[in-house]
């Protein structure tokens, strides 16, 4: 195996990769002598010397039929029929070459021959991908190999700085990239092959789109000449991802790769973050590449506005000065903008309580007296009552999701609204507002804080006392924090709060979707920014385990817990093997109620107890964990919880705890569908306010 230096200081192995336009005899078109991707003439491969329509030494055509003039039957020659559409045209020749390229490894054998003679391996598109990832600061990515992306895996060993984590399903890779991005603030990267490999990524891509998570999803596709021919594992993945990405690319030329990757990462992380998809044809990955990464990225059509309009900010300060019952609604945008310190400074100067959305959890230390908690459909009663009684709402980086507002005509009926968001499309989309401010939350707060009058705590003493009274009333409900719920059965809120206490409220807690998600948001007691991760907009069951895996590898300095239900875990349980193979020390808290819990809750409370398909059989989780090589523990009473948590934390590697919780425990309060924040259910079968 020969290696040489390519001039960049990197040693390239000549046996790695697929080449077009190689120094000695390698083209991209195949044995028929058609021009390669770089315009070079291909050298015939001996085993394919018959070409597209020639004859071999035995008198047969390349497809094995008798050639014209070879004789058949009564000695009459048989004419060979070419069924290739538009046979003889350049288009037909390109398609034939592409099909041979997909099926033949002849040219890679030529590369091997070059290596044996010590000839340098040229730089190809696959190299450009690896170089672009490193240039963007990527340390690891989550992938699953397949036919058309094998050229990339063929050169990946030449880039030891890039850690590849082999997931067990592409959806797991996409969610892992999301979890990595959410925990680190960096762009997450995932990779899949063409066809089903690409479509398996789509749920994670859509999840990232709705939750403003910066990821770059890379897929492979068939060679360019076969696009649209329904070749094996070909699918129009760019068409599929168009509505659920910030932008997507179809790359057919290796020399476009450096520019496309620079643009993709810029788009993913700039302004309102989100997913970008890059689809690479196989010939782009194999083609010779001479292009370098551009020094700067200039996209005239993509210029997000970061600084709020000064006039609007002054108007906001005036509204705040007049308000008697103001409330801040902190969303995911506060965390994305890294504006948690500015939020605290602003709230403390103006003495304004802070509520948070589901994705805004951890935007403020929940021990801060100004933090009132989680709002919305399953949020705290005192938070929702504060929204309904407020005279001013200051919405920061949130989009007034229906799970926050409920029936919009009944939402915050006495409040004027200031809405700050970097995406102008979100302002006025769901809720009409009085003062819109388009800009980055951090920069807007930096401009607003000097204009806001300092308010002494005693000025709002009566307001805060009323909120505290509502909170005390809410926390006295029988479904809150009891540990033992109905005849000694273990309650989920008790488990979540004890995990938080055991980890000193410093662990990253990644929730799945459903009841476990609401219990985590309500009882996690978050104190550190980005210590809470969950699927918000898309609400993707199965998200918890792979997203926690990504968060754990992204922040190895922080303990990571996945809080999951038995329904969601069964959707992506195969990633347990990834944890073992990569030795990722993730702790998994399985809240097992043998139900699709939120479905069962809705069937009980909304559909008059008409249960159907919500009882869920599952495996013996400890045996399953053992089969994967994961340490397993079980707790079914409050007395067993702390010891199980301690045992899992002591494991050097992944661990799973099955907490057997009450099957009928519901998440309260609950805002029924079509109702508002004043219409909360707090007991089984309680009728909402009319």
Q: Tokens 């015939």 identify what position?
A: 44
> Which residues, in sequence order, are CB contacts of 272 under 8 Å at separation 6+?
212, 304, 333, 336, 422, 423
Give the β-pairing of 484-485 and 489-490.
antiparallel
Instruction: Classify residue 630 as exposed, middle or buried by CB count within 10 Å of its CB (0-12, 13-18, 19+).
Output: buried
Known catalytic residue at 598: yes
Residue 328 CB neighbours (<10 A): 27
Q: What are the phi and psi torsion angles at 549 (to 5°)?
A: -60, -45
Q: Tokens 């089903």 identify what position?
A: 196
Residue 592 CB neighbours (<10 A): 25
Sequence-ordered strand ranges (E) for 398-496:
416-421, 435-438, 484-485, 489-490
Residue tagged active-site, from 18, 110, 136, 233: 233
Is-contact 422 398, C-beta < 8 A?
no
What is the C-alpha to C-alpha distance for residues 37 and 254, in angstroms, rounded to an integer? Answer: 9
Q: What is the DSSP string of 342-381?
A: HHHHHHHHHT--EEE-STTTTSS-TTSTTEEEE-STTS-H
* SS3 call for 200: coil
Residue tagged active-site, from 232, 302, 306, 464: 232
- DSSP alpha helix (H) spans, 254-303: 257-269, 282-286
What is the C-alpha to C-alpha distance for residues 269 and 187, in angstroms, rounded to an integer? Answer: 7
Q: What are the phi and psi torsion angles at 3 (to 5°)?
A: -130, 145
Known catalytic residue at 233: yes
Is-contact 149 220, C-beta < 8 A?
yes
Residue tagged active-site, from 101, 131, 170, 342: 170
- Record the tokens describing residue 625, joined without a space: 């964990």
Residue tagged active-site, from 102, 398, 598, 670: 598
Residue 539 CB neighbours (<10 A): 17
Q: Measured between alpha carbons, how far is residue 281 from residues 84, 220, 233 in Å?
A: 23, 6, 12
Is-contact 122 19, C-beta < 8 A?
yes
Q: What is the DSSP string of 386-419?
A: HHHH-SEEEEES----HHHHBSGGGSSTT-EEEE
Three-state SS annotation for 159-172: CCCCEEEECCCHHH
**Would you give the distance in Å from CA 372 to the centre of its chain?**
29
What is the C-alpha to C-alpha distance for residues 23 and 57, in angstroms, rounded to an integer? Answer: 30
What is the C-alpha to C-alpha distance for residues 183 and 175, in angstroms, rounded to an integer? Answer: 12
Q: What is the DSSP string of 630-664?
A: -EEEEE-SHHHHHHHHHHHHT-SS-EEEEEEB-TT
Known catalytic residue at 170: yes
Q: Tokens 């249960």 identify what position?
A: 611
Residue tagged active-site, from 120, 186, 246, 282: 282
What is the C-alpha to C-alpha distance for residues 153 and 162, in angstroms, rounded to an integer? Answer: 11
Is-contact 511 521, C-beta < 8 A?
yes
Q: Tokens 């559909």 identify what position?
A: 607
* SS3 call for 681: strand
Kindly list the catalytic residues: 170, 232-233, 282, 598
């Amino acid at each position: 195996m020969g290696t040489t230096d390519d001039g960049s200081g990197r040693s390239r192995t000549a046996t790695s990769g697929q080449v077009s336009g190689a120094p000695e005899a390698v083209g991209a078109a195949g044995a028929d002598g058609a021009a390669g991707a770089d315009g070079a003439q291909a050298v015939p491969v001996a085993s394919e010397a018959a070409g597209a329509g020639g004859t071999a030494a035995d008198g047969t055509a390349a497809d094995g039929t008798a050639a014209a003039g070879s004789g058949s039957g009564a000695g009459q020659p048989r004419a060979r029929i070419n069924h290739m559409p538009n046979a003889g045209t350049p288009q037909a020749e390109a398609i034939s070459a592409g099909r041979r390229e997909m099926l033949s490894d002849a040219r890679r054998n030529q590369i091997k021959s070059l290596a044996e003679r010590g000839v340098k391996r040229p730089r190809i598109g696959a190299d450009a991908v690896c170089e672009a990832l490193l240039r963007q600061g990527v340390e690891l990515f989550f992938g699953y190999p397949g036919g058309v992306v094998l050229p990339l895996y063929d050169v990946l060993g030449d880039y030891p700085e890039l850690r590849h984590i082999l997931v067990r399903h592409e959806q797991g890779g996409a969610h892992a990239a999301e979890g990595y991005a959410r925990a680190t603030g960096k762009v997450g990267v995932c990779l899949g092959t063409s066809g089903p490999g690409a479509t398996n990524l789509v749920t994670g891509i859509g999840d990232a789109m709705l939750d403003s998570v910066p990821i770059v999803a890379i897929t492979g596709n068939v060679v360019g000449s076969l696009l649209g021919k329904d070749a094996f594992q070909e699918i129009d993945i760019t068409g599929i991802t168009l509505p659920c990405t910030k932008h997507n690319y179809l790359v057919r030329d290796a020399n476009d790769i450096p520019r496309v990757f620079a643009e993709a990462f810029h788009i993913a992380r700039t302004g309102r973050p989100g997913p970008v998809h890059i689809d690479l044809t196989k010939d782009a990955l194999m083609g010779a590449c001479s292009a370098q990464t551009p020094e700067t990225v200039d996209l005239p059509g993509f210029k997000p506005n970061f600084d709020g309009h000064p006039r609007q900010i002054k108007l906001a300060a005036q509204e705040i000065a007049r308000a008697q019952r103001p409330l801040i609604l902190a969303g995911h945008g506060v965390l994305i903008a890294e504006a948690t310190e500015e939020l605290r400074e602003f709230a403390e100067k103006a003495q304004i309580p802070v509520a948070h959305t589901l994705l805004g959890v951890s935007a403020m230390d929940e021990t801060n007296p100004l933090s009132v908690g989680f709002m919305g459909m399953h949020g705290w009663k005192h938070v929702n009552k504060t929204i309904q009684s407020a005279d001013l709402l200051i919405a920061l980086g949130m989009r007034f999701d229906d799970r926050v507002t409920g029936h919009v005509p009944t939402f915050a009926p006495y409040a004027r609204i200031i809405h700050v968001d970097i995406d102008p499309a979100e302002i006025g989309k769901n809720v009409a507002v009085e003062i819109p401010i388009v800009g980055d939350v951090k920069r807007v707060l930096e401009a607003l804080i000097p204009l806001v009058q300092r308010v002494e705590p005693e000025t709002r003493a009566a307001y805060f006392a009323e909120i505290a009274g509502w909170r005390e009333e809410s926390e006295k409900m029988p479904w809150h924090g009891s540990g033992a719920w109905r005849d000694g059965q273990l309650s989920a809120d008790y488990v979540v709060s004890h995990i938080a206490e055991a980890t000193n409220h410093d662990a990253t807690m990644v929730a799945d979707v459903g009841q476990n998600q609401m219990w985590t948001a309500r009882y996690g007691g978050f104190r550190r920014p980005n210590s809470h991760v969950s699927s918000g907009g898309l609400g993707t069951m199965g998200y918890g385990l792979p997203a926690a895996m990504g968060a754990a590898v992204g922040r190895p300095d922080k303990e990571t817990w996945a809080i999951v239900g038995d329904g969601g875990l069964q959707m992506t349980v195969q990633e347990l093997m990834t944890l073992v193979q990569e030795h990722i020390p993730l702790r998994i808290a399985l809240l097992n109620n043998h139900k699709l819990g939120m479905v069962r809750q809705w069937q009980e409370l909304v559909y008059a107890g008409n249960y159907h398909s919500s009882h869920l059989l599952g495996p013996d989780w400890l045996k399953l964990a053992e089969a994967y090589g994961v340490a397993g523990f079980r707790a079914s009473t409050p007395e067993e919880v702390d010891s199980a948590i301690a045992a899992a934390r002591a494991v050097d590697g992944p661990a799973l705890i099955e907490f057997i919780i009450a099957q009928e425990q519901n998440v309260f309060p609950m805002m029924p569908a079509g109702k508002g924040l004043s219409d909360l259910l707090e007991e089984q079968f309680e009728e909402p306010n009319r």
